[in-house]
Chain A
Amino acid sequence: QKEVEQNSGPLSVPEGAIASLNCTYSDRGSQSFFWYRQYSGKSPELIMFIYSNGDKEDGRFTAQLNKASQYVSLLIRDSQPSDSATYLCAVTDNAGNMLTFGGGTRLMVKP
């Protein structure tokens, strides 16, 4: 059974701070890793994906992957109130056919 685990939160950070969101996964065969943002009642929206160990930056977002530790994280710099949402970690295996999602971490950015 493939598992993706996230702290449900809420994670509360002040506006302008760095938010750090973490995710662990159980399947060592996982190949691709995704971060989605989901506002209440809405569909998941892709933020970033990462395949290789290390860091990947896109604007205010940085994804970090450590396959040896089976750990992936998302850093949000200069957090804004509009970043307040639930952040979903998702992984796929080598076939890449389906996403296994974590339960999400609720982020609250306070003005």
Chain B
Amino acid sequence: EPEVTQTPSHQVTQMGQEVILRCVPISNHLYFYWYRQILGQKVEFLVSFYNNEISEKSEIFDDQFSVERPDGSNFTLKIRSTKLEDSAMYFCASNRDRQNYGYTFGSGTRLTVV
């Protein structure tokens, strides 16, 4: 079964450093998403991306965050200057079309900011 692939599985970074989280969505999917989950808290929407642009973003997704689809396969989340409170699991997801039948999440990247 096709799956969404995320790398790395765990990243440790120092406060103030830039990080890039990588995702390879399912190949024929057109809609891409990032969510995060702080330990013990809810899964929270960050951003959705379609046709090479952001279609929706949450209040969490401020100027420190950006997304990009640099080639035909990767979808990346960049955090420019990490804060301690950015420590969380980050999940990428993709969907084939606009109709939401429940999309597939990747296995996640655990980001630890020290």
Contact = CB atoms under 8 A, between A and B. Distances in A.
A43 B55 contact: no
B25 interface: no
B91 A96 contact: no
Nearest to A48: B102
A43 B56 contact: no
A36 to B, nearest CB: 8
Interface string A25-52: 0000000101010000011111011000
Nearest to B39: A41
Given A34-B102, A98-B48, A98-B56, 4 more contacts: A32-B100, A97-B56, A101-B44, A102-B42
B45, B56, B100, B107: residue with the most chain A Cβ atoms closer than 10 Å: B100
Interface of A: 32, 34, 36, 42-46, 48-49, 88, 90, 92, 95-104
18 contacts: A32-B100, A34-B102, A36-B102, A42-B107, A43-B105, A43-B108, A44-B43, A44-B105, A46-B102, A49-B102, A97-B48, A97-B56, A98-B58, A99-B35, A99-B45, A99-B100, A103-B41, A104-B42
B106 A101 contact: no
Interface in B19-51: 33, 35, 41-45, 48
Contact of B91 (A44, A98, A100, A103): A44
B60 to A, nearest CB: 12
Contacts of A100: 45
Interface of B: 33, 35, 41-45, 48, 55-56, 58, 89, 91, 98-108
A97 B55 contact: yes
Nearest to B40: A103
A96 B99 contact: yes
Nearest to A96: B100
Contacts of B33: 98
A48, A98, A104: residue with the most chain B Cβ atoms closer than 10 Å: A98
A35 B110 CA distance: 23
A49 B100 CA distance: 9
Nearest to B58: A98
B44, B102, B104: residue with the most chain A Cβ atoms closer than 10 Å: B102
